[in-house]
Structure 1
Amino acid sequence: MRYAAIGDSFTEGVGDARPDGSVRGWADRVAEGLSAALAPAGERVEYANLAIRGRLLRPIVTDQLSAALTLRPLPDLVTVNGGGNDMLRPGVRLDDLLALTENAFRRCADAGVRLVVLSGADPTAQLPLGRVVRRRGAYLTAGLADLCARYGLTFVNVFGDDEIRDPRYWSPDRLHLAAAGHARVAGLVLHALGHGPVPAPAPPAPPIVRSLATTTRYYREHVLPWVNRRLHGTSSGDNRDPKHPVWYPVAPAEPTATG
């Protein structure tokens, strides 16, 4: 089984840090879960992750998908997610995003590669201008669901998962999932692939109290740097390479652990 993941920070694994500072993320956890599921039958899993934080949808479904389809041997499975960074931009055209996505569906069908499509988790209850972004996310998710139904693809609707909207699944920046969130997404994907039940809720966490001081710190540490990058036309993913650009073997591990 050869599994390749393409996308942005969601798929790269930002927010789910390993002890050495590298990121893990739901796609790594899915690869580990597949390895655990297939090992008893003597099958091994090889994995590539071409996602880069900050990427818009177009380079994901063109450049990253091209890189995935030029891997040799060809992937058996590709997961795709994108559009989250596009939705944060004022002039986004959602129907254009859906057209780009449909073209990617055709390319994978022509290549004979199985595609699994994810909508991103919904952070909007915690974000400034969250209601605007949520309307966009709901529209894009509905469009993805329709496309996947027409093409006969597996669709994992993370955006529609009420459980993952709880703050305990999110990083301090309120935009990226924490380890518990990535673990839940991995569980949802593995369940959709027939490897395990729907994941149970994460353990309860103390309620988050947001004072004026914590809100001010949040804007200073997370919102203002994001605005500054937009003003200067830069991205958090500039000059970054994919973390796993070629096939590497994955040892079995429990994908739903939060550690």
Structure 2
Amino acid sequence: MAYRRFVALGDSTTEGLMDLNPDGTFRGWADRLAERLAQDEPRLQYANLAVRGKLARQVVDEQLGPAIALSPDLASVLSGLNDMLRRNCSVPTVIDRLDTLYGSLRAAGADVIAFTLPDPVPINPIAKGAAARLRNLNLAIRDLVAKHGAFLVDLEAHPVSSDRRLWHHDRLHANALGHERIALAAAEALGLEGADASWTAPFADPLAPRSRVSHALWAGKYLTPWVVRRLRGVSSGDGISAKRPLLEPFSDDR
């Protein structure tokens, strides 16, 4: 079917961090998918409520109501990674919140795209603790997708999702090529014409190992500021508003 109203919910990945438009604003996989949807339905309207740093609880509290008010016929939910990065997070609680998100959007008449999260260890070796939590979350997401009749983008099932070449130097966000692959994966999940599994193809050449110097540079530039924000109780999303809070015709004119 051709969708008319697409609303994206989530955190920095859906906001589009590290995938820049020429004017310096963030693009991201959801904008890329909206562009593809607009090829089938030029009257497509698109809203993106995602804000960097948001936990699943905040997506429920701050984005779900406004999303439902927009009466989407398609909604995406990509959430949970920020929770899993916290050692004291409750995986069952995050699962319940995703259940609420999927179920409420489906009850409101929207088709829903859900996502598993890729193995973070090849991207960031210190994420082993989060990886165990993510595996449990991904198992639950697959069950919730079956329960609610949602579409699934199963990033975890394809090793290329954890290839460093699809990730920014901060080892947390997808780069432009990574966002492109996520958009292609969502198009395949929706069964859009011409979409296929080419996004799962691995790179032909092997990765070179990282050096100790690269780890040290990363820690100084990215890890230390993240830890300081956590200690201060500050989120990267504080003071940030959704980039497309209202449904608007999609145009790629930047």
* TM-score, length basis structure 1: 0.89
2:31 equivalent in structure 1: 28
2:216 equivalent in structure 1: 216
**1:64-103 mapped onto 2 (5 Å cutoff):** 64-71=63-70, 74-103=71-100
* CA–CA distance in structure 2, aligned partners of residues 49 and 225 of structure 1: 27
Task: Name the aligned partner's letter for residue 133 of structure 2.
Answer: R
Q: Secondary structure at the match of 1:79?
A: strand
Deviation at 1:207, TM superposition (A): 4.1
Of 123, 129, 134 in structure 1, the residue corresponding to residue 131 of structure 2 is 134
1:54 equivalent in structure 2: 53
Task: Name the aligned partner's letter for residue 60 of structure 2.
Answer: V
2:173 equivalent in structure 1: 176
Confirm whether residue 18 of structure 1 aligns to residue 24 of structure 2.
no
Contact kept in structure 2, 1:48 and 1:245, CA below 8 Å: yes
* CA–CA distance in structure 2, aligned partners of residues 9 and 149 of structure 1: 26
Partner deviation per Cα, 1:157-213 (whole Å, 9 max, x = no partner):
112221121111010011110111100010000011111112344766784553332
Aligned residue pair count? 247
Deviation at 1:20, TM superposition (A): 1.8
1:189 equivalent in structure 2: 186
**1:147-166 mapped onto 2 (5 Å cutoff):** 147-166=144-163
Unaligned runs of 5+ in 2: none
Q: Secondary structure at the match of 2:178?
A: helix
Partner deviation per Cα, 1:81-120 (whole Å, 9 max, x = no partner):
1110011111111011111111222312331222111123
Pair 1:205–1:236, CA change in 2 (3 A): farther
Confirm whether residue 44 of structure 1 aligns to residue 43 of structure 2.
yes
* TM-score, length basis structure 2: 0.91
* CA–CA distance in structure 1, aligned partners of residues 6 and 119 of structure 2: 25
Pair 1:54–1:226, CA change in 2 (3 A): same
1:235 equivalent in structure 2: 235
Contact kept in structure 1, 2:91 and 2:133, CA below 8 Å: yes
Deviation at 1:121, TM superposition (A): 3.4
Partner deviation per Cα, 1:229-258 (whole Å, 9 max, x = no partner):
0000001111000010111111479xxxxx
Percent identity, aligned pairs only, is 36
Contact kept in structure 1, 2:10 and 2:51, CA below 8 Å: yes
1:225 equivalent in structure 2: 225
Unaligned runs of 5+ in 1: 254-259
Using CA pairs below 8 Å that are at least 6 residues apart, which structure has the higher relative contact order? Answer: 1
Task: Name the aligned partner's letter for residue 31 of structure 2.
Answer: D
Q: Secondary structure at the match of 2:191?
A: coil
* CA–CA distance in structure 2, aligned partners of residues 59 and 248 of structure 1: 24
Q: Secondary structure at the match of 2:62?
A: helix
Contact kept in structure 1, 2:119 and 2:131, CA below 8 Å: yes
* CA–CA distance in structure 1, aligned partners of residues 206 and 169 of structure 2: 14
Q: CA RMSD in A?
A: 1.9
Contact kept in structure 2, 1:122 and 1:160, CA below 8 Å: no
* CA–CA distance in structure 2, aligned partners of residues 30 and 65 of structure 1: 20
* CA–CA distance in structure 2, aligned partners of residues 109 and 19 of structure 1: 35
